[in-house]
A and B are shown apart, each in its own frame.
Chain A
């Protein structure tokens, strides 16, 4: 049934089969190509991304059960490698770290010298990137690498990264990637994309090859091409995820819906519940805002500037002399959701939300972006003073 793939002829669109043991080998190959391999691990009662040395570091046989404001780990009745959805961390942790030094200066006579940064960045291979998160990385690419400017921090890390995506065969309760057109199957933006198939008798991965880099890496494994039935089985399982999506968000005219409803009373309703804790922005795989902190040593001879994650939910975020522009929780939540679902389209020609559901799961009071959009949609009236569309 299987035939050896002639690596010379394999085109990047090819689909091959990697057996369970091949994955361990793949990891070793990546590590020997000097990639730091990052993947899902069990920590702090959650599945979080961290360095993995081997496949035994994955949360094998575990799954997660998510609901608004709740996340629980559970045992599966199989030994799936990737039998869960997304946890509280996302890949932005590695591509635009929560804390990174962006400038380093030392005191000199009358002033200071700037120590030139080397621009060295780690080589990451991301193992187990979900389709929604693959799309989130594509979105961050637009934010940090564009015609206007290229961010050194993100740009250097990103150009070296290797992405092993994993399609979803089961959806979580807070997932709505189908609505956002980002999953449960990844279409592009990966080097390799796996669909895991575990049965009583077998455990293998239907693997799409998305780049020349990936071809090179696979060479040593000489994988076999996938049969039609294997590809069908992978598709059936992905379809299963699409059918079991826990949530749904109607994106019809979403841009205008947000901009037309700046004055909607639902924002007040949300403000009654929202703690302005910023959790939603921290867990969101596309929220990119940051601030810069000045750190000096005790003598004041050295000063470093550190870029750290920030959130539009803080008062300082919009502070200008005289007070914060967005003083109320209402205006801050509105800023966040309007940005994710509407202004993002104007700014980056894409939604800022990929439907990963993290903000729903990790909101301490269980605010659900999909419910809030429906609430606004279901009672959207043309406001008295019609708000004109920007642009």
Chain B
């Protein structure tokens, strides 16, 4: 299977519209193998028949391997066609690819999850993981920033997590009308509020590159160690298996060395333009 560009077929079992431009597919494998195992932070190459193939993070619970979840924001050719697929339609999957979030490095520590926009999708599995193994971790904090209240993903889960006593959830929006009671502003503004114990904390960050850069800077200011800040990077992907070259970032192939790196491994590149 690995080394092949031929996808495994999955059937769409449910479609959830998260916002006006973002939807989640719940998928069931129909070709060989009934299970799909993955690590939080890994992604699949998703094939739409007659259209093309794109990288999309796996966003379900890593302890559930009979169904596969993907949340997609509509931006261009492939995602536009993907949104019109209906329950019962088939799509192709190759994966899982990438290293995923190093959850074992956070054992026994405070964990801080910081998401921007669609960046919450690749982070949702890690939140499930922390909650499934709650005793392995100290405090759990989620900071999620998005453009406006109507762009909030996974409302049901966010409400559920917010109501838990063993987890701290903050949602901030860049701009909002009067009905919004939560904080307004970029995610970095919330960081000073939540961090008490930087030496024993590990941060997992995903969002637009600029958001991740500023978030890392803010965490460093709060005395986070560089190797305790993990970012998930984005580049063009055509194969997912190390052969097409597109996903390179300096010496890394994101599909095999990444997409997740600690800040110390990225900082030389993040300070440069057009790498």
Residues of A within 8 A of B (CB): 102-103, 105, 107-108, 110-112, 114, 116-117, 143-144, 146, 148-152, 155, 259, 262-263, 288-292, 294, 296, 300, 303, 305, 307, 310, 312, 317-321, 325-328, 330-331, 335, 339, 342-343, 346-347, 385, 387-391
Interfacial chain A residues near B234, Cβ < 8 Å: 320
| Count class of interface residues, chain B | 35 or more
Interfacial chain A residues near B2, Cβ < 8 Å: 149-150
Name the distance in Å between B191's Cβ and chain A's nearest Cβ.
24
**Contact check: which of B245, B251, B269 meets A290 at CB < 8 Å?**
B245
CB-nearest residue of chain B relative to A293?
B52
Interfacial chain A residues near B49, Cβ < 8 Å: 105, 107, 111-112, 303
B211-241, CB < 8 A from A: 234-236, 238-239, 241
Name the distance in Å between B22's Cβ and chain A's nearest Cβ.
13
Given contacts A320-B234, A320-B235, contact A289 B5 (CB under 8 A): no
A328 touches B274 (CB 8 A): yes
B5 touches A388 (CB 8 A): no
B265 touches A390 (CB 8 A): yes
CB-nearest residue of chain A relative to B30?
A111
Name the distance in Å between B63's Cβ and chain A's nearest Cβ.
26
Residues of B within 8 A of A (CB): 2-7, 9, 11, 47, 49-53, 75-76, 88-92, 234-236, 238-239, 241-246, 248, 250-253, 256, 265, 267-269, 271-275
Determine the main DSSP class of B at the interface with A: loop
Interfacial chain A residues near B271, Cβ < 8 Å: 385, 387
Residue from A149, A151, A339 whose CB has the most chain B CB atoms within 10 Å: A149
**Contact check: which of A289, A321, A391 meets B244 at CB < 8 Å?**
A289
CB-nearest residue of chain B relative to A292?
B238
Interfacial chain A residues near B3, Cβ < 8 Å: 149-152, 155
B92 touches A114 (CB 8 A): yes
A325 touches B235 (CB 8 A): yes
Name the distance in Å between B94's Cβ and chain A's nearest Cβ.
10
Name the distance in Å between A240's Cβ and chain B's nearest Cβ.
37
A116 touches B236 (CB 8 A): no
Name the distance in Å between A107's Cβ and chain B's nearest Cβ.
7
CB-nearest residue of chain B relative to A297?
B50
Name the distance in Å between B203's Cβ and chain A's nearest Cβ.
20
B244 touches A290 (CB 8 A): yes
Name the distance in Å between B2's Cβ and chain A's nearest Cβ.
5
B265 touches A391 (CB 8 A): yes
Name the distance in Å between B185's Cβ and chain A's nearest Cβ.
22
CB-nearest residue of chain B relative to A262?
B272
CB-nearest residue of chain B relative to A290?
B244
Complex alpha-carbon distance, A391 and B11, angstroms: 41
A292 touches B239 (CB 8 A): yes
B51 touches A321 (CB 8 A): no
Given A111-B11, A343-B248, 7 other A-B contacts at CB below 8 A? A102-B6, A111-B49, A288-B243, A318-B235, A325-B235, A343-B251, A390-B265
Complex alpha-carbon distance, A203 and B127, angstroms: 74
B241 touches A149 (CB 8 A): yes
Given contacts A303-B50, A326-B274, contact A292 B268 (CB under 8 A): no
